[in-house]
Amino acid sequence: MDQSTKPQTSCFTISETTFDPAQLHHKETIFTIGNGYLSTRGSFEEGYPGDHAATFAHGVFDAVPIVFTELANLPNWAELNIYLDGERFSLTQGEILYFNRTLDLFTGVLKRQVRWQSPQGHTYDVCFERFTNLADPHVLCLRVSVTPLDIGGKAYAIVEFRAGLNGGVDNLGILHWNWLDQKTEDQAAWLQLTTRASGIELGMAMQLTIDKNPPLPPFSKGGVQTTNNTGWDVQNHPTLVARLDSAVGETVVAEKIVTVFTSRDLPDPAQAAWDLLRAEQSYDDKGGVTPPLQDQNNVFPINSVWNTKYAANQAAWKHEWDLCDLVIEGDNDAQLAVRFNLFQLLIAAPRHDEKVNIGAKTLSGFGYRGHAFWDTEIFMLPFFTFTRPEIARNLLSYRWHTLPGARRKAQGNGYSGAQYAWESAATGDEVTPTWVPHFSDPTKLVRIWTGDIEIHVSADIIYGILQYWRTTGDDAFMLERGLEIILETARFWASRAEWNSEKNRYEFNDVIGPDEYHDHVDNNAYTNYMARWHLLKAIECLAWAEAAISPAALAQGKELITRLNITPDERTNWQNVADKIYIPYDPDTHLIEQFQGYFQRRDVEIKDYAHLKLSMQVILGIEGATETQVLKQPDVVILQYLLPELFDEQTIQANYAYYTPRTDHVYGSSLGPAIQAIIACRVGRPEEGYEHFLRAAHADLYDVRGNAGDGIHGASAGGLWQAVVFGFAGLRITPTGWTTQACLPAHWQRVAFKFFDHGKLQEINLVKDK
């Protein structure tokens, strides 16, 4: 990105000072706001051609061709158009005299200030603000103020607001909503829709109130001083209209409050939205809207719904940052990047729903259709496990609720137990597309094999469960949910392993590891190591469940083992398979071959192609990249991060040195750089680690890969927290406690953060010696 278009930053603020239509999609992602129930992209209230305005709510999936299912774009609740003396406010007309848009990460408020000269030459100050309430996720708030500055010598300007609920939205051309009903009355309206295939109902309601400084005379019943105060009851697009006059220097304020529910929340979401909206209003004895008081230091009414909700929202965000903030002193760029990425995780985190997960693109874009991958458990989940364990429990509970889908996949593939989908949505059934258009020639299709043979996700989920359990001591979760997942997926691994009688070992052939530049490989190191680890942990967990934890827990554990029919013979088989899984390792070189035959593939100097600024797969082609040692991400390095107890220092050093120059760090996978930074610290190279850290830090802020417009890279965001905590700060969690071994970049002066260890809040404050 050109320096002039980079978001300007402070430690809790993302901002931009120019309007660039060419950057619409990237900035929509960057300025996404949310509250864990839904997120709204940072598109402009007045709308522009080609924008990707979208609001996504957890769990609201609908059918779609090719990719099976996707999150349905909710009605555009933020739509608000302004007409000034008959001219529509638009940044593409007239002249922008001043522009500043900011996202306050500390409160989740998106604000835009514009000084606009209309085509007629009239000048106005316009300010938009909006937030999705973290304290009450079903309430969305937007307000805009307009101040005429120069209206050509006229006494006043006519200001008109048109606030809509636009149900005619799509998912990049695909429509998901059928209209059911709507109503408009007294500066309020509601809309009722249902998804076309999944039958999820949505209810959305809005109210529009207006104020002016100096105060308006007594309000009419509609709350607005005007002779033209009406609503447009256009089907699927109810719109509230308020029209009034404003002299030079007078500020007119429009406040739009929106409520939203779906049938995932309760049976009648439209009625619930309407009831909540009305509960937010206050009425006088005559049934009209009570005029708000004026704050002498603020043009906005001090008892408005906005201000009430803002206070609660601010308190909720303060609580989040009190627990989750990560302080870096000596590097404002790193500090801002970390907070930005943590904000993106927090706005996507389901606080009140245990049947949803966080998709790879969070709730911020159309990329990956809202599907969940291993990205959650390996990259995003640790942040929540250590700072907001109740959210981590919800995310892991999703895997328990979708266990039937994993069982169906295993059975359909001819295996035992449960095999988790590579891409998962509402039910846990596989939703990875089989064919997609070729990235360089849309007229051709590319076969996608990840849903068929990228099987390591089942072990990744277990890794997340066990990390959560070890950190929280949540035995109830293990007995009620975690243990069942662990045992059923162990069954899958034991049945998926292939016996090689010639070499007297079990193998996993025809798979894809985390490095997706190479498919249909045999004995991928990451897959084999994780499968063996998983089977051994399943045996340990069985022994734990059969121990005398407490009489009730003992009975619960035995009931589960009986219900699943885990026999002594099956347990013995798991041990036998684990003992004989092929584990590639060369004791002379200490190298672990990424997959069988990898070392025989053609070596390539990646640095020779750096000037092309493209991924190596694009440069070499899909088949060309497969024939080389070039990696999308280094499976072995990731493995050594996850299971450090299995590898000595020489092995970690040797494999880091071998695989680092062969990895497409810049334009390959966004998942790799953060983990690479951690291992760099562990081998004593913090400055090299910092280079990898920055690649993760800038992935979305500076659109490093050119695809941030599709949504936030959630795994990179979670990996960034891990890079600081487990890399530079060197936090280690062991059965006997925790330690830190700081390895800070030279210019960092201090790192501070908090985490929970078995329910007790720990505070880390690492200060570099001067």
Catalytic residues: 516
Contact 742, 728 (CB under 8 A): yes
Assigned token pair, 532: 């063996």
Instruction: Say if residue 217 is preceded by a cis peptide, omega within 30 of 0.
Output: no
CA–CA separation, 683 and 656 (whole Å): 8
CA–CA separation, 331 and 282 (whole Å): 48
Q: Which long-range contacts (CB under 8 A, 24 or more apart) does 215-223 make?
A: 215/291, 215/294, 216/244, 216/291, 218/291, 219/288, 219/289, 219/291, 220/288, 221/186, 221/287, 221/288, 221/289, 222/186, 222/187, 222/289, 223/187, 223/288, 223/289
Angle made by CA atoms 435, 439, 445, in degrees to the nearest 5: 30
CA–CA separation, 717 and 738 (whole Å): 24
What φ, ψ does residue 59 adopt, rounded to 5°?
80, -5
DSSP-derived 3-state class of residue 21: helix
Burial string for 73-112 (b: 16+ CB within 10 Å, else e) reads bbbbbbbbbbebbebebbbeebeeeeeebbbbbbbbbbbb
Angle made by CA atoms 30, 35, 40, in degrees to the nearest 5: 45
C-alpha distances (whole Å) from 273 to each of 192, 313, 350, 547 are 10, 19, 20, 50
Cβ-in-10-Å burial (0-12, 13-18, 19+) of 197 comes to middle
| Tally of CA atoms within 13 A in the half-sphere of 70 that contains its CB | 23
Beta strand 139-150 pairing with 123-132: antiparallel
Which of 666, 719, 661 lies closest to 695 in space, CA to CA? 666
Contact 122, 97 (CB under 8 A): no
